[in-house]
Structure 1
């Protein structure tokens, strides 16, 4: 609740109000505690208060029990006791709903939430894929080649097409972009396929979310509460981390530097943060730490909700100035150590031993420390958290469906669009190249066949000429033989009459031979 311009979060043991200062809300925060100790109630009270101040809020709903903000709270005896305990009536406490937009990366329990490969950028995507330096450089160059050739990278199939295209045409790009290692391209491809299997194929596409749409207000000027259904998304830490980093990085890019404001521009809550950081690559952890550290100067507050503070990496934990610690159980040496670590993160209160109090806290109770006006943490106090004004629990499908389709953003983002991008353009280029190659091959084969046919024709003509020449020679030879023989015989007869029988024989043969020789000489 808002009281005296501050966020009234709880009352201490003396019944005095404990506040979270809006001007310190962008210094980030932590809500921790075992299951069933009241973390979700704290988150809802804080989110409702930001909304009441006109500050947009983003919430990751891991268990499906935050969407109740769509509906007014329900009165009960327990609620009446709590209202009376805190004296909320005199400060305008009433049950009401909050302006809420439901989102879902998979498009089932909320408006489809997407971004593009281009919007994600090579540096962030490389960290998500856990690429080494060489692979990161290659991915960056692939983005550059796509940009230089007007090949839009919208979804994962676009990027895979580009990787194959660059690999197959390595020689063409070597002079301008350098030589690409095919093994490295293969490693990028495998990492990308793994991301697809984890749900990345659904997350990348159009229309891409414009986070500026989240800076809106609803009825009575309350900040819009954007709830991402994460019941399926949270099962994959990489995809969840990718989404967190994308949103925060996008906000960091588009938001101007503003320093410390009277109230934040927007506040993010990431529930079940222990899943967010579990098995997350080192590069990704470093990027999260960097973004969390820098984004507060843009007026953005980030709050992690988890079971144990040790679930948060030290580099991130050190930046969380506003802390709410619910009960932790210590049944083993490791758990006792965790309780002590949690207690040591608070500024000591001489009135009690913080570690003992953490173990003794009941549901809805916590130890808290919020940043004071000068930016230093307050002394830890044991408090009872106020109740929320919206419905505690989930909503039925009809209410959810009505809320989704009733949102002014539904028509903008509900239906996926698959524009002509790198995949289609490269596919067309491949078809056209294959067609050109086929036509060139066909033309070459036709020319080859034509040349073969021409050669065969010329050879046949040459054979025909040779045959004709041979025929003429044979004809001439036959004529010469006949004439020579006849003439020779006549000469021989004449010669024989003069010289007798011997002369007849000799004259006939010799005369024929002489005449044939003469005839052949003439024919030549």
Structure 2
């Protein structure tokens, strides 16, 4: 096993770094903290993604907090998905505690209480900066995958988008999309058939049902304007510290479809707008996704494939993704294999299934001469974790059972008064919290339908007037004709014989 001294040298050499780094704690051997054997994560490799896992109450959230604080200190902006609502304390300094001082003395790192620049974001009606996106920004492919549509239905969605592009109809929210779907198989059926081919009513009905399902999870609040600009996630304060953007998601735990929709749209937007930067000296943005299983639990195969593709590609944009969950098995293997940093807190073996899962989890970590990984996973205390990172050359660092440092900020939520004060100081709230409902496909199509109906009514009235006029004219002609035929006096007076007789009499009288 080696001595404490050789273990200290082993850890120090394995985590040696020349560039900027984040010290997360000190390594432990046989349950004892080796002071000064610091476990460091190179800032350069923080875009290689990561995992924070462990049973409830083992310290996952505090590890997340420590990483977020230190990234902010280094000037790297952070986005946190706060499912449980326990991360807002980052905006206030830690009150301190003798146990924190004792912990840091063992680790060999000074403790300093600090508050960090925080922006509160929201997807729902909770207080915070509203995050929205338009249907147009999603595009037909992403929208089809979110709705889990068939190939035929996806084709119809593409046709709908093309029609809106051709006719300059902005697709902003779900009511726009529903309206154009209804139009395609009703008032505009002939127009669509001529320009794009026949659209099945059964298919549009199925798509509409999927949209209603999404609406029931609150997506009508997410789709619309003003669209959130992902560049606003990259702000730093006047002291050069990166903003920690906390997305409050406490009221959508039972709406995983909305959470998946938001996550995929955000990642797609970041990938399409951030410049390519490869492996630079520091990440551009780091995202922590708490309760990550919510993304994967009800995700379709198409959606999982999309997430997997983005995870592979987005690191070249300088973006690191960190999944926080109870068990590594909550994350699909294809994505788990892309994660460079692993912070594994204790797992509990209550059942045979638990023991089997722990053995599988142990296999995700490098072999170590100093640890029986399976045994350590069940014996770690609160605030302790197995850590495996990547060094500056992208190689796995030595596996280290680590006593994690304590957060510098408060390990508790903000009070209502503190939260209200924080929100009142938000510059982004003024930019995004006003609801905009400008003229879009819904209004334009309604106008088009109303104009068509008015023209149709006008044409119908004109034809009716012409028919009445024609009928009246015919009636008058017919009446005169009948009158002439039936009056014998008129017949006599207008006959040629009578006229000749009258003229003959007049001639004789004149001669006399």
> TM-score if structure 1 supplies the norm length?
0.87
**Distance of 2:375 and 2:127 partners within structure 1:** 41
* 2:462 aligned residue (439, 443, 446): 443
Number of the residue aligned with 1:46: 67
CA drift of 1:3 comes to 11
**Distance of 1:176 and 1:472 partners within structure 2:** 65
Number of the residue aligned with 1:6: 21
* 2:415 aligned residue (385, 396, 402): 396
Report SS of the residue matched to 2:275: coil
What does residue range 217-296 of structure 1 map to in structure 2 within 5 Å? 217-296=236-315
Number of the residue aligned with 2:80: 59
Is 2:224 the counterpart of 1:205? Answer: yes
**Distance of 1:167 and 1:316 partners within structure 2:** 41
**Distance of 2:426 and 2:138 partners within structure 1:** 26
Structure 1 contact 97–390 (Cα < 8 Å) conserved: yes
> Which is further off, 204-213 or 102-111?
102-111
Number of the residue aligned with 2:434: 415
Number of the residue aligned with 1:165: 183
**Distance of 2:67 and 2:239 partners within structure 1:** 18
* 2:128 aligned residue (110, 115, 138): 110
**Distance of 1:218 and 1:122 partners within structure 2:** 37
> TM-score if structure 2 supplies the norm length?
0.89
CA drift of 1:374 comes to 2.2
Structure 1 contact 111–413 (Cα < 8 Å) conserved: yes
Structure 1 contact 99–219 (Cα < 8 Å) conserved: no
CA drift of 1:88 comes to 3.0
* 1:76 aligned residue (97, 110, 130): 97
CA drift of 1:474 comes to 8.4
Assess, with a 3 A threshold, how the Cα gap between structure 1 residues 228 and 3 changes in structure 2: closer, same or farther.
Answer: farther
> 1:35-58, CA deviations, whole angstroms, 9 ceiling, x for partnerless residues?
100000000000111111111100
Structure 2 contact 144–157 (Cα < 8 Å) conserved: yes
CA drift of 1:7 comes to 0.4
Number of the residue aligned with 1:26: 47
Report SS of the residue matched to 1:11: strand
Structure 1 contact 109–400 (Cα < 8 Å) conserved: no
CA drift of 1:192 comes to 0.9
What does residue range 89-488 of structure 1 map to in structure 2 within 5 Å? 89=110, 93-168=111-186, 169-468=188-487, 470-472=488-490
CA drift of 1:134 comes to 1.4
**Distance of 1:250 and 1:443 partners within structure 2:** 53
**Distance of 1:457 and 1:120 partners within structure 2:** 66
Report SS of the residue matched to 1:258: coil
Structure 1 contact 234–276 (Cα < 8 Å) conserved: no
Report SS of the residue matched to 1:239: helix
CA drift of 1:301 comes to 0.2
CA RMSD of aligned residues (A): 1.9
> 1:186-244, CA deviations, whole angstroms, 9 ceiling, x for partnerless residues?
11111111111111111001101000111110141000111100112232111111111
Structure 1 contact 86–386 (Cα < 8 Å) conserved: yes
Unaligned runs of 5+ in 2: 1-16, 29-33, 499-512
Number of the residue aligned with 2:505: none
**Distance of 2:422 and 2:168 partners within structure 1:** 39
Structure 2 contact 20–44 (Cα < 8 Å) conserved: no
Number of the residue aligned with 2:5: none
Report SS of the residue matched to 1:74: coil
The structure 1 segments of at least 4 consecutive aligned residues displaced by more than 4 Å after TM superposition are 472-476
Assess, with a 3 A threshold, how the Cα gap between structure 1 residues 151 and 472 changes in structure 2: closer, same or farther.
Answer: closer
CA drift of 1:323 comes to 0.1
Number of the residue aligned with 1:504: none
Structure 1 contact 57–266 (Cα < 8 Å) conserved: yes
Number of the residue aligned with 2:10: none
Number of the residue aligned with 1:513: none
